[in-house]
A and B are shown apart, each in its own frame.
Chain A
Amino acid sequence: MPHDPFSLTALGGAALAVPILVWYLVRRPPLVRTTKIVLLFGIGVFPIVTAGSGNIAGFEATKTRRFCGSCHVMTPYAQDSGDPTSETLASRHGRNAAFGKDNCYACHADYGMFGTVTTKIGGMRHVYHYVTHYHDVPVAEALPTIEIRRPFRNEACTRCHSTGVPGWNEIGDHASLIEELRAGQVSCVSSGCHGPAHPFSKVGRDPARTFRDHVGRAP
């Protein structure tokens, strides 16, 4: 049972609309002015309340780890993130109260003004691949084949971990690599630095390298 206000409002709107609709369908009242007004609430006002808040609730739901982990090939990622004893970078980002339960989205959402939209479009691609291919593939078989589509961008880390604070620059590797890091030539999640982020990540693959190899320029 959800507790957030949007889900509750959505359920409340539906709870008000359904009795009206059932009453209309069962009792078949004559179409007098009162019936019209009652129907306006049953077909219009209350369902619109439900749709409005339900969409917001649905949108929020798409950011949660629970949502990401609901396709079976993502369940191991979600389990690792939810495991308080795990040492992976993703799991260490799954404990913060502010975004811990949305940690997949916190790291994997696109950066920038249209980030939310492009992330959702990217998400539809995931759904497409899942429905057309991964749906029937066992987890053990799927994990080695799942790769990140584009190299992980450093902006996804630096939008939270500013490169402008003294503490960050006190780290020797940060200070010496700052230009390369900002230009995306060295990845924050290279193995040996902070990567890999997941236990299943393809070890030894440098995300920045991958991009250069494929496209011929730095990300």
Chain B
Amino acid sequence: MKKLLRAAAVLTLLALALMVWSVLQPTPLPVMLAMSLGQALGTGAFAMFGLAILIDLRRSRRIRRESRQPPLASLREVLAPPEHESPEVSLRIPVLRELLTPPAREAPEDPSGELPAIEAPAPAAAPAPVADPETVPTTDRSEDKA
């Protein structure tokens, strides 16, 4: 990725050189080169830069996630059932959960009162929340959104 960025920097320098040449000497060859090859090099370099930043972002996210995986994973099991088993996916996003909680809280037959909306679908999810390997990436993404 370092290499990608260095290549992007070199290509940008080349593209800039073509552009400057065409501005200083506006004759057919430099102008045509700048407006075709220069354009392509510059755009390509910028795309490479974007790619490098994206790769870096994903990598640092993965590192952060892995370093705090175990506690979070268990907490999540308590708070939110896996996506495909829960009918109310939106409940796993804290803001929406806040919004959606009140009516459930008013339900008289609920004894705990703390997180009723989450607990309601919990029995359905009970069979195998951890055993299913599919659940790990799904819940991970929800964590990013949060």
Contacts and interface: CB of A to CB of B under 8 A. Distances in A.
Interface of A: 1-2, 7, 10-11, 14, 17-18, 21-22, 24-25, 28, 31, 36, 39-40, 42-44, 47-48, 50-51, 54-55, 57-59, 61-62, 64, 66-67, 70-71, 127
B28 A10 contact: no
Contacts of A59: 35
A21 B38 contact: no
Interface in B69-85: none
Nearest to A40: B49
A61 B9 contact: no
B46 A14 contact: no
Contacts of B31: 58, 61-62, 67
Contacts of A10: 19-20, 23
Contacts, number: 98
A14 B20 contact: yes
A67 B19 contact: no
Contacts of A51: 15, 19, 38-39, 42
Given A10-B23, A44-B46, A127 B9 contact: no
Contact of A57 (B10, B26, B45): B26
A171 B32 CA distance: 44
B2 interface: yes
